[in-house]
Amino acid sequence: MNIAAAANETLAHNSNLLVYSAMAVYTLAFIAHMAEWVFGSRSKVGRTAAALTAQAKAPAAAAVQVAKQGGTAVLERPKIITKAAVGSRDVPDGPGAAGGTEKGDLYGRIAVSLTVLAWALHVGGVVTRALSVQRAPWGNMYEFSTTFAAVAVGLYLLLLALKKNVRWIGLPLVTTVLLDLGLAISVLYTASDQLVPALHSYWLWIHVSCAILSGAALYLGAVATLLFLFRDRHEAKLADPAGPQPGAFATSVLERLPSAASLDKFAYRINATVFPLWTFTIIAGAIWAEAAWGRYWGWDPKEVWTFITWVAYACYLHARATAGWKGRKAAWLGVIAFACYLFNYFGVNIFVTGLHSYAGV
């Protein structure tokens, strides 16, 4: 074995160690996120939400104050966002998983700090993998999965850095990232290797990087859409005192989420913003296909399902602009669209043979 091969093998080993280390820290972040939800007081959530409702027309109201031993701590007051449609419910945002308590807020800050540390280790693992193979680190499903998870967490941390109220997404995000990395190292793992000649192109950097960035953003939108469906159902029950009321556990969890209107708006903005990038991903893939295989479009299974995913998201965006399809109907279209994306990635790559199958898993 020559020196270069030995160096690449060492880098690949270090990449695996960094990914495992990231998973360990993500696990600690998961525990901290759980603690944020557990120790955040539901009763304070209810009182704060009631106060926000009473002061909805006074945006300059004071911040939320919570008593602590030896004094009073002041937490940043959540923004008031309500539904704007005529006849819809006006339900303000809750104060988040922290529940307006100092203890819950502390665990939340610890969770974010641990997520940042895990993400740094995660990115280190992806970069080290790239150095070991001396190419873009997304030539197979293992590399795509690890990079996809790193980009998703990076987008979440970017939104936090921009002072967006998205800490509520931390728990589902870290949970799914752990599942994704666990699947990657146990089922999808592929040793460092070079790709077939058809993939030796700068389009690998352009096309696949756009697919990863698009997918990571669409994932955040899908999480918000799913949570919207639960929160919207919760608000509907609260608005109908004569009907069945939500249980204590459901209330405890769902009151820590933003209002249904906020979740719906967040999902729509994410999906609408990333849709042009997903469109460019398809165009870039077609250009690369012409250079590699001599045709722009050949109805390969991957190409077909990429187009189906595009159509599904186009239907979602059209539905959001159509009065009769706003709300839950449009949300279900968003869920179906992301399910198409997942099948395009996992189902097509694993169960369907096509021109995109040369890299294996």
List the end-to-end C-alpha distance of the chain, in Å, as a whole number: 26
Q: How high is the pLDDT of residue 53?
A: 45
Question: Which residues have CB under 8 Å from 248's CB, separation 6+?
Answer: none
Q: How high is the pLDDT of residue 52?
A: 45
Q: How high is the pLDDT of residue 227?
A: 92
From the list 355, 345, 341, the residue with the least C-alpha distance to 290 is 355
Mean pLDDT of each 10-residue bin along the chain, 361 residues long? 69 87 96 85 45 46 50 48 44 59 83 96 93 84 92 95 88 94 90 68 86 94 93 84 76 80 90 94 89 81 90 92 81 94 86 58 52
The DSSP secondary structure of 93-130, one letter per residue, reads PP--TTTT-HHHHHHHHHHHHHHHHHHHHHHHHHHHHH
pTM for the full predicted model: 0.81
Residues forming beta bridges with residue 66, ordered by sequence position: 73
From the list 27, 66, 277, the residue with the least C-alpha distance to 151 is 277
Q: How high is the pLDDT of residue 51?
A: 47
Q: How high is the pLDDT of residue 315?
A: 92
Structure tokens at 145: 């999965």
* Residue 177, number of CB atoms within 10 A of its CB: 27
* Residue 57, number of CB atoms within 10 A of its CB: 7
Q: How high is the pLDDT of residue 72?
A: 52
Q: How high is the pLDDT of residue 42?
A: 47
What's the sign of the alpha-carbon dihedral 105, 30, 46, 259? positive
Q: How high is the pLDDT of residue 229?
A: 93
